[in-house]
Amino acid sequence: MATVFYFLPDPPPPLTEEEKAELAALKDRPIVFDEDRPPTTDEQADETIYLMRKYNTRRITKEIKMAEFPERFQKRKSEAVG
């Protein structure tokens, strides 16, 4: 497998007027939630922050959640059997 390196200008180029206008227009748009991305509760946010700090990572995987909260996954497994 080949390794590909990407080099970004340092510092990045300034935003164009078009990009600035696009960002300004997005600031006024509301956040839209749906069934794929429901709003996060305060409890879920606190849990995620706890796990990120404990495991020193920004990506919480299913394996981390299974290690921390095995009862959640055992319940689902038993429901699938019956």
Residue 23 lies in a domain: no
Give the total number of structural domains in the chain: 1
CA distance 43 to 34: 19
32-41 pLDDT, tens digit per residue, is: 898 888 899 9
3-state DSSP assignment of residue 73: helix
In a domain, 9, yes or no: no
Spatial separation of the C-alpha atoms in residues 50 and 57, rounded to whole Å: 10
Tokens standing for 2? 């080949």
Q: pTM for the full model?
A: 0.49
| Secondary structure E strands in 1-82 | none
Domain around 78: 41-82
| pLDDT confidence bin for 43, thresholds 50/70/90 | very high
> pLDDT tens digits for 17-33?
999 999 999 988 888 89
Establish if 82 belongs to a structural domain.
yes
Q: Is residue 70 part of a domain?
A: yes
For the record, the structure tokens of 42 come out as 């305060």
Any domain includes 17: no
